[in-house]
Amino acid sequence: MTPVMALGLSLIAGTVVFYLLGYPPLQSLYAFFISPISDLYGVCELLVKASPLAMIAVGLSMGFRANVWNIGAEGQLTVGALFGSALVIYFPESNNILMLPAMLILGILGGMAWASIPAFLKTRFNTNEILTSLLLVYVAILLLSTLVHGPWRDPAGYNFPQSVLFQNVAILPVIVPGTRLHLGTIFALLAILTGWILISRTLAGFQVRVSGMAPQAARYTGVRSNLMIWCVLLGAGGLAGLAGIIEITGLIGQVQPIISPGYGFSAIIVAFLGRLHPVGILFASLVLALSYLGGEFVQIKLGLPLGIAGVFQGMLLFFLLSCDILIHYRIEIRKTSISGSARST
């Protein structure tokens, strides 16, 4: 119940935040959590934003279960988007129907390639994967900036840092007319289903769980730790890369200086809020996606800064970690006699 407790405490704290900012708390909460999904278009937008969060979080959760802490999904998402986009940028006139599948595959390979760097450093030199994966995020962002300001910049784009617009053959089809809900949502659901089967019904999933709970027992039973590190990092990188190229081909339609609003980092909150379980991640991704939608909505309607979404995400993670203490500890109030205290002193 700690995720539910954390969500409730975040709502209470959010009420206080809105009050201190001088906005009516109940009206602001309604505008933040209810108004964005009050129609079909809003619900579809919620699913659009939840899809990359869920996809990335499923991959991260596998590593977290095995005590492999990949914090660089944002970089893997970015590189996956670049790998997939390279195909259409270097072949802009191609109308081959295999263009889109090839882009998706290249996106997966790009994310895996970027995740292989911390995997190699971890298994070869025992380098901390938290630091290497996190620092590679900024390398990926700089690589993106270099490309859109340089060789990939559209010559007919009035000097804006963006690539050429993708042709229709490189765009994901919309599955609900009149909205932006695209085929990427189906891929996210398939990732959740695959993650659930893998972690619950396969020997590999059992080995992942054992590696996290009892590493020495896992080694005793023949689980190769280095192979496990490679598998969970490459799996997470591949899903992050797929999320990146889906973001490009489903919504943006070209390479821009900003591809993701921070999905790779928010997915860490999604993974823990969902208790590292694919089904829990499904619901947690909807909660975090709603925070993005709510932040945009209150910015337009109430004039609040867009950063309010990050405030809610931060509070949610803080309260989740705080409530998790109650899993391992309990609060006890004990009465100590004066004489007993004197003797102990």
Dihedral sign from CA coordinates of 12, 13, 16, 21:
negative
- Rounded percentage of the chain residues whose pLDDT exceeds 70: 97
Q: Is the pLDDT of residue 112 over 70?
A: yes
pLDDT band at 1 (very low <50, low <70, confident <90, very high): confident
Residues 90, 260, 180: CA angle, nearest 5 degrees: 85
Higher pLDDT, 303 or 196: 196
Report the C-alpha gap between 314 and 221 in whole angstroms. 39
Give residue-wise pLDDT tens across range 51-102.
999 999 999 999 999 999 999 999 999 999 999 999 999 998 888 999 999 9
* 344 pLDDT higher than 70: no
What would the mean pLDDT of 313-338 be, rounded to a whole number?
85
Residues 6+ apart with CB under 8 A from 307: 295
Q: pLDDT per residue over 162-190, tens digit each?
A: 999 999 999 999 999 999 999 999 999 99
Cα gap 268→235, rounded to integer Å: 15
Q: Which of 278, 121, 281, 284 is closest to 205 using CA atoms?
A: 278
Across 137-164, average pLDDT: 93
Per-residue pLDDT of 30-52, as tens digits, reads 999 999 999 999 999 999 999 99
Residue 213 confidence (pLDDT) above 90: no
Query: Does pLDDT of 345 surpass 50?
Result: no
Position 255 confidence tier, pLDDT thresholds 50, 70, 90:
very high
| Residue 295 main-chain phi, psi, to 5 deg | -60, -40
Distance of CA 173 to the CA centre of its chain: 23
What is the structure's pLDDT at 303?
85
Say how many CA atoms lie within 13 Å of 63 toward its Cβ. Answer: 31
Q: Answer whether 313's CB lies under 8 Å from 293's CB.
A: no
The secondary structure of 184-244 as a DSSP string is: HHHHHHHHHHHHHHHHHHSHHHHHHHHHHH-HHHHHHTT--HHHHHHHHHHHHHHHHHHHH
Q: Stretch 302-329: mean pLDDT, rounded?
A: 88
pLDDT at 201 over 70: yes
User: What is the rounded distance in angstroms from the CA atom of residue 39 to the CA atom of residue 297?
Assistant: 13
Q: Is 256's pLDDT higher than 90? A: yes
pTM of the prediction? 0.91
Please tell me the predicted confidence (pLDDT) of residue 330: 83
pLDDT at 338: 59
What pLDDT sits at residue 90?
93
Average pLDDT, the chain: 92
The SS3 call for residue 174 is strand
Q: pLDDT at residue 245 above 70?
A: yes
pLDDT at 25 over 80: yes
The reported pLDDT for the residue numbered 339 is 55
**What Cα–Cα distance (Å) separates residue 186 from each residue in 15, 160, 266?**
35, 33, 20
Contact criterion met (CB below 8 Å) for 71 and 56: no
Predicted confidence band at 340 (pLDDT cuts at 50, 70, 90)? low
The stretches of the chain forming alpha helices (DSSP H) are 2-20, 25-33, 40-65, 73-90, 99-125, 129-149, 184-201, 203-213, 215-220, 225-247, 263-273, 278-301, 308-328, 338-344
CA angle 290, 294, 295 (to 5 degrees): 120
